[in-house]
Amino acid sequence: MPQSLVYVLVINWNGKEHLEVCFDSLLAQTYSNLRIVLVDNASSDGSVAFVRARYAGDPRVELLECGANLGWSGGNNAGIERSLAAGADYIFLLNNDTASAPDAIERLVEFAEANPNAGAVAPKMLLFDQPWLINSVGIAGTIVGSAWDEGLGRINGARWSEPKKVLGVCGGAMLLRAEAVRKAGLLPQEFEIYLDDLDLCLRIWDVGYECWSCPGATVRHKFSATMGEGARARRKYYLNTRNRLRLILRNFPARELAGVFLHYAVSEIRSIGRAVLNGEIWKVGAHVRSWFAATTYISAALQQRSTMKSRGHAIGSFWQFVRRDRYFFAGIELPARGFYTPIEHDGVRVTPISVRASMDVKAGELSVTLVNCYPDLGAAQVALWANDCEVATLHAERAPQTERISVEPGTLTFVAKRVFEAESTGAAYDAGGWIVIDSPAKL
């Protein structure tokens, strides 16, 4: 039986620095019947010339030059239309700053073909430089239209390794069933960016398909949690705020809208109040602008709803997955090389670590103390590795344990033997232990 045809769309705008890693990982896939398309939004950094020169000899690689910057949605829509016209069975939307595991596409297709109701499938996205941490296993969304990546910043483990239905799939790595896209339609190009991937997923639910996570397939992603600065941050905040309302107007079931807008009003009052208290008056303007933008968008939203209904599709099939316990993502701290911001514990300043952490050291004596901030949950245990050689193991139940070691110039790595999960500690992140380091050997 012939393999299904998969089109991989690598959306790109001036991302030449990422393309070699991304394309090399795609060309190393164990799945053979695929086409890899650089969807270029009029880059000026030589991205197209680079791909043409390096990969032109491989028949699997194609170029789609959009001629203008169509944005994330617009560029991907051009690629989706090309894929559908070419007879693709599946379309894999992929950010350019990714590296796919060799069997990622094979596992995604196997999952989709074993689950014919799966219209969109999420691989497990991991942080590129800290691949023991999760970027996304799907999208969670709330009654006020906000959304975030499920699992973001959490330590990869059994909790995140079972397939499950999810509200949506992150567009940074999203396998789409071509037939589901034909029924649901394209990405909402007027969104420009942010929540457009979720909008498509909600419509995939409404046309009779489902969204799933497939954690057996992994993709590493150079995720950034920062808003940026200045005009960029303000633009990002406005687009997210505006698109929340568009998402609601286009997709939320009519029977729920009265309650939705009550919650929305409360969330807006809280957001504006917080902005005023923080002296971020520009955010108030972003909210007001989003309200006016919503009034001019109502007719387009009603047209979208009418189109779905005329095709016999019910609006709101996804509603059971919409969260009501919070309005917005509580936030997460991502560690730097595995280290979190130091905290105070029993009068001692300790540094929480992830399941792995590393630091550069110079030659000398190093004193390392392991502290257990949650002794009632069991012992903390962390192994110390110096330049790829294990030099000590620290074990702390109720009392801290200290080791003095001699190190050569290089890297000192901490490897936790167990994880204290956020659900048990009440912290914002999982931790592998709490470290105190005292020595001139630190760089």
What pLDDT is stored for residue 443 in this prediction? Answer: 44
In angstroms, the first-to-last Cα distance of the chain is 58
All structural domains of the chain with their residue ranges: 6-221, 230-321, 343-438
Backbone angle region of 124, left / alpha / beta, with phi > 0 → left and psi within -120 to 50 → alpha: beta
Angle at 165 between CA 209 and CA 132, to 5 degrees: 135
Cα dihedral 152, 171, 36, 81 in deg (nearest 10): 170
Amino acid present at 327: Y
Overall size of the chain counted in residues: 443
Residue % of the chain over a pLDDT of 90: 91
Q: What are the backbone dihedrals phi and psi of residue 59, each rounded to the nearest 5 degrees, phi first?
A: -65, -10
Q: Which of 9, 175, 123, 16 is nearest to 76 (CA)?
A: 9
Beta strands at 34-40 and 6-12: parallel, antiparallel or unpaired: parallel
Gap between the Cα atoms of 41 and 239, Å rounded: 20
Gap between the Cα atoms of 154 and 317, Å rounded: 29
Please, how many CA atoms are within 13 Å of residue 292, restricted to the half-sphere of its CB? 6
Mean pLDDT (the chain) is 95
What pLDDT is stored for residue 275 in this prediction? Answer: 96
pLDDT for 225-254, tens place per residue? Answer: 544 568 888 999 999 999 999 999 999 999
Residues β-bridged to residue 356: 415
Q: CATH for 6-221? A: 3.90.550.60
Backbone angle region of 49, left / alpha / beta, with phi > 0 → left and psi within -120 to 50 → alpha: alpha
Q: What is the mean pLDDT of each run of 10 residues along the chain (443 residues)?
A: 93 96 98 97 96 94 96 96 98 98 98 98 97 97 97 95 98 98 96 95 98 98 70 92 97 97 97 96 96 96 95 95 95 94 94 96 91 96 93 94 91 96 94 87 50
Gap between the Cα atoms of 388 and 215, Å rounded: 29
pLDDT for 401-414, tens place per residue? Answer: 999 988 889 999 99
Give the CATH architecture of domain 343-438.
Sandwich (2.60)
Record the pTM: 0.94
Q: Which of 43, 42, 41, 6 is nearest to 26 (CA)?
A: 6
Tokens of 37: 């398309």
